[in-house]
Chains A and B, each alone.
Chain A
């Protein structure tokens, strides 16, 4: 039986098998796509951004079991932070990225006390409420955010002072890919760390945690801070590579989308969540091109079907494939 070794390996990765293989395929596919679809690099870059954003949210929902309907607030905050910084003349991309990450992380940390208390239901309402406030604030602060018109027209300096963002979007893709890879490796470390284990403990049984001496609130604060910071980085990469920041980047739709993607991906399965983001982004693109009017309906139907077909999400399917092959 392969059970023992598989279980031993899977212990590391949230009790699931095959994530290493899926991760390899994911990275190989991302690199190959650069060569296979040279005319679609802008879209591929958006997929990378979506994957980063999904992974940031998965740390909360998938690993910590903490739901949020306002995660786009951090994404949008990062996008605006990078855009505004670039417009003031500090347009080094890595500086913008770091600024966005720190700002979003700090805001996430400050918000923790009101988000952490309560149950799933109150959390949904509170995060929804906070995100609407952020949205409305951004809408009002026209001078800073451009209001409904968004923030266009800013330049981003070459990456590391060497690689200028080109019209074909090659550097943009490579830049986004590098940030994605960094985020992926970082999150992998986090979820396989003692802290990651404690987060899964909170997901599996919040009530037992204080009975083993666990500082649950502190864990949640750290999770929120890391997750918010990474969501901000994803937003920054989108703003920098598209040279645009707009209100929809912190809108409700984006928050709801990412919750669907994380759920579809198989909560807590990093490769699965990445593939789900990819599938979602691609489907959205195909459907919105095919039917600008009814694409959301199509998307809704596909999402609903996928929940029934793939219980455990895409991650669950991946594990199943892997398991059958090795058995």
Chain B
């Protein structure tokens, strides 16, 4: 079967430093694929390279078999590859609803129109409200994003990506910075996403990773150390060492 997302030899170098080093990744359609690894392993850099917000030093990328390596970020989005950001990238001065309406209108290529009224586009507003309802933000629709609680901002981050109607959604630590009680609420929403939407997500909480993933890739120092089913990963000695070592270090 053609992978939803596939890379060959992706590398991202910053000068002599190899943030991502020769990564081959295959994400099966409909997967719940987790990308894990210690801080600074290159996970976010890899996501940047996948989505085109950064051009990799080397390597190629396909979305459902189509070569997208030379395509701009916006064109990859239009081919169904969407992402969220580890650090919120929201339109802070706009209302919550407008954040999603904007994404919908860009997807529908309506934003060239300077002679129409946004307010008159009932369909875009209805669709936006559906996305907000999905992430439980309906009651905040008219609030300016900058006044939104942080946890809600993380959910809006997802709603905006969903509004582009992706086939593959890359989630870069969707619950980053959220207290663990709330991070479950966020992953519960991710769990409720349609099964045919392919997910690649980064997450540090191993409990969440093992609960929600059906495939795991471990990135260490820019390289894939191992890839496999959750059971294989949890029993791998090297992963235990790196991961438990890191966590022990954190606890100290």
Contact = CB atoms under 8 A, between A and B. Distances in A.
Contact of B95 (A11, A214, A219): A11
B204 interface: no
A210 B119 contact: no
Query: DSSP majority for the A interface?
Result: helix
Contacts of A15: 93-95, 144
A201 B114 contact: no
B90 A197 contact: no
B114 A193 contact: yes
B28 interface: no
Contacts of A195: 111-114
B164 interface: yes
A226 interface: yes
A297 B116 CA distance: 44
A292 interface: no
Question: Could you say which of A4, A193, A200 has the most chain B C-beta atoms within 10 Å of its C-beta?
Answer: A193
A227 B142 CA distance: 29
B92 interface: yes
Contact of A213 (B53, B107, B112): B107
A196 B116 CA distance: 10
Contacts of A212: 77, 82, 102-103, 106-107, 160-161, 163-164
A213 B72 CA distance: 9
Given A210-B53, A213-B107, A12 B119 contact: yes
Contacts of A193: 113-118
B117 A201 contact: no
B101 interface: yes
A208 B160 contact: yes
Nearest to A8: B142
Interface of A: 4, 7-8, 11-12, 15, 189-190, 192-198, 200-201, 203-205, 207-216, 218-219, 222, 226
6 tightest Cβ-Cβ pairs between the two chains A and B? A213-B77, A195-B114, A204-B91, A198-B111, A7-B142, A210-B73
